[in-house]
Amino acid sequence: MRAAVLYDVGRLAVRDVPRPEPGPGEVLLRPAAVGLCGTDFHIHAGHANYHFDPRGRAIPLTAHPQILGHEVAATVAEVGAGVADLRPGDPVVIDQGRSCAGRVERCEYCAAGFSHQCATYGEHGITGLAGGLADAMVVPAANVIRRGAHADGGPLDAAEAALTEPLACVLHALAAARRAASHVTLDGPAATRARAILVVGAGPAGLLFVQALRRVAGFDGAILASDPDPGKRALAARFGATPIDPTAAPVVDQVQAATAGRRADWVIEASGASQALVDLPGVLRKLGTFVLYGHGHRGVDVGVMNSIQFLEPTFVTPTGASGGFDADGRPAIYREALRLLERRTIQVAPIVTHRYASLDAVPAAFAGAHRAPGYVKGVVELA
C-alpha cells in the first residue's frame, strides 16, 4: 500500500509500505479524510518530536520514519477476531490514542477518565504509531466510533467528520478549565461569573473554542478573538466573537479598551505564538484562568513567567481528549464531539478551506500550501 512518509525533518514522500493486518480486537480502516493539524506541521518542521524511547529521548525520524495524520474519518475494511459490533463498510471516526480502552483492567489514569495520560499511551500519527495518511491503518476496535447516529442535519461528509478529533480536544480543554477555575467561572453566581474571555488565535482550534463557549458552554459574555488574518477574524465574528487585529494596535491596549480596563477573566492561548505569554500580564485579570492550549511558543525566555506569577492565575495545560469511557468501552468525549458535529451544533464546514484530493498532494501541502492566503484548515480526502 502507499503512505505519506516523513523520513527526516522537512522531508516527506509518498512511498510503498507494508499493509498492516488487524489482530484480535482490532480493525483495519481505509482512511477517507485526514485533517492536517498544527502538530503535524510542527513535527514536519522539526519543531517537535513526540516519539520517545523508554528514557525519554526523542527518536529521530531518520531512525523511525513517521506516517502522520491523527484527525481521521474512515471506513471499516476488515475486522479482527472478537470484533462483533463493527463490520466492513461502516463509516467511522477514531480516537487516535491507544490507551486502556477495551481492557478489563485499566491503569490509574484511564480508571479516572484520563485516557490520554494512559500509563502505556501511544498516539497514531504522532508518537511513532502509523497515522492516517495512508491507504490503510489498524487501530483497536475500542477506538472506533460509527458515524451517522446523530445526522439530524443530513450526512456529515468525511472531511468535516475528520474534525471530531480537534473538537474532542477542545471539549476536554474546556472541561479541564472549568474544573480548575477557582475564582471566576463560566456560570454560577453573577459575582463570580466571567464577563470576558480572550481567545488568542482564530485558527481551527480558536474557532472551535469560540463555538464551544457559545453553543456548548452557553457563555453569553464577551469573547474577544485575536488573529492577524482577516479571514480568520471574519470567521470568529461569524461564530460570535469580537475580532481583534494584533497588527492594528497592541493586543493589550485593545483588550483593555474592550473591557473598560477590567481585562479578561479567562485567556485561552490557541496560537502557539510566544507573544501571547508576553502580553498575558496586561490582558488577564488577577486570579483569572489561563488555558495554555497552543504548542510552540519559541523565542521567549522563561523569565516571562515572573510577571505572570504575580497574577496568581489558575494555569491549565490540557492536552489530548481525555473524557472517560462509555458503557461499550469507547471514548465518551469523541462520541460527544461527533454528536455536536452531526447535529451541526458546531459548524466546521466554513473552517475547512483547503481540500487535497489524494496522498500525492500531501508533500506539497506540507511544503508550504498551508501558508497560502485564505488558508484556515486543510483536509486530505482519500476516498
Cβ contacts of 107 within 8 Å, gap of 6 or more:
100, 118, 119, 120
pLDDT at 309 over 80: yes
Closest CA to 163 of 27, 325, 35, 355: 35
pTM tops 0.85, yes or no: yes
CATH number of this structure's domain 2-163+348-381:
3.90.180.10
Is there a contact between 244 and 225 (Cβ–Cβ < 8 Å)?
A: yes
pLDDT at 166 over 90: yes
Query: How far apart, in whole angstroms, are the C-alpha atoms of residue 131 and residue 162?
Result: 13
Model pLDDT for residues 86-102, shown as the tens digit of each residue? 999 999 999 999 998 77
Bridge partners (DSSP) of residue 155 are none
Query: How far apart, in whole angstroms, are the C-alpha atoms of residue 181 and residue 154?
Result: 37
Of the pLDDT bands very low, low, confident and very high (cuts 50, 70, 90), residue 238 is very high
Is there a contact between 64 and 122 (Cβ–Cβ < 8 Å)?
A: no
pLDDT score recorded for residue 10: 95
Query: How far apart, in whole angstroms, are the C-alpha atoms of residue 175 and residue 322?
Result: 10
Query: How far apart, in whole angstroms, are the C-alpha atoms of residue 251 and residue 95?
Result: 36
Bridge partners (DSSP) of residue 16 are 2
pLDDT at 335 over 80: yes
Architecture of the domain delimited by 173-316: 3-Layer(aba) Sandwich (3.40)
Closest CA to 171 of 245, 252, 116: 116
Output the 3-class SS for the chain: CEEEEEEECCEEEEEECCCCCCCCCEEEEEEEEEEECHHHHHHHHCCCCCCECCCCCECCCCCCCEECCCEEEEEEEEECCCCCCCCCCCEEEECCEECCCCCCCCCHHHHCCCHHHCCCCEEECCCCECCCCECCEEEEHHHEEECCCCCCCCCCCHHHHCCHHHHHHHHHHHHHHHHHCCCCECCCCHHHECCEEEEECCCHHHHHHHHHHHHCCCCCCEEEEECCCHHHHHHHHHCCCEEECCCCCCHHHHHHHHCCCCCEEEEEECCCCCHHHHHHHHHEEEEEEEEECCCCCCCCCHHHHHHHHCCCCEEECCCCCCCCECCCCCEHHHHHHHHHHHCCCCCCCCCEEEEECCHHHHHHHHHCHHHCCCCCEEEEECC
Q: Are strands 242-244 and 222-226 parallel, antiparallel or unpaired?
A: parallel
Q: What is the mean pLDDT of the chain?
A: 94
Positions of CATH 3.40.50.720 in the chain: 173-316
pLDDT score recorded for residue 149: 79
What is the percent of the chain with per-residue pLDDT over 70, rounded to a whole number? 99
Of the pLDDT bands very low, low, confident and very high (cuts 50, 70, 90), residue 152 is confident
